[in-house]
């Protein structure tokens, strides 16, 4: 883990593989009051960046349990 960075907007924590620091990184960005994950940033080995932002959070909703069940895209034994 690299040194966490904090500013008035929140906290960013970056983790890297210590044995291979050039293999990429993952940064988690949190807001404060309340502490909440707002985005994550992945930098791959080629230096390409993917950012995912979380917004319009809704709490206390009922979710269909099927959302959390893996369904293979492949049918039969072709794989």
Confidence at residue 76, expressed as pLDDT on a 0 to 100 scale: 59
Per-residue pLDDT of the chain (79 residues; tens, 9 = 90+): 677 787 777 899 999 998 998 899 999 999 988 889 999 999 999 999 999 999 988 889 999 999 988 888 886 555 4
Confidence at residue 73, expressed as pLDDT on a 0 to 100 scale: 82
Q: What does pTM read for this prediction?
A: 0.70
Confidence at residue 75, expressed as pLDDT on a 0 to 100 scale: 65
Return the closest-CA partner of residue 41 out of 32, 33, 30: 30
Beta strands in 1-76 (DSSP E): 5-7, 10-16, 25-31, 36-43, 49-53
């Amino acid at each position: 883990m690299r040194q966490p960075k904090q500013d008035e907007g929140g906290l960013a924590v970056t983790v890297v593989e210590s044995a291979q620091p050039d293999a990429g990184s993952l940064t988690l960005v949190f807001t404060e009051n309340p502490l909440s994950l707002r985005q994550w940033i992945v930098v791959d080995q080629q230096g390409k960046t993917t950012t995912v932002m979380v917004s319009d959070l809704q709490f206390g909703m009922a979710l269909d349990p099927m959302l959390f069940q893996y369904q293979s895209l492949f049918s039969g034994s072709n794989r």
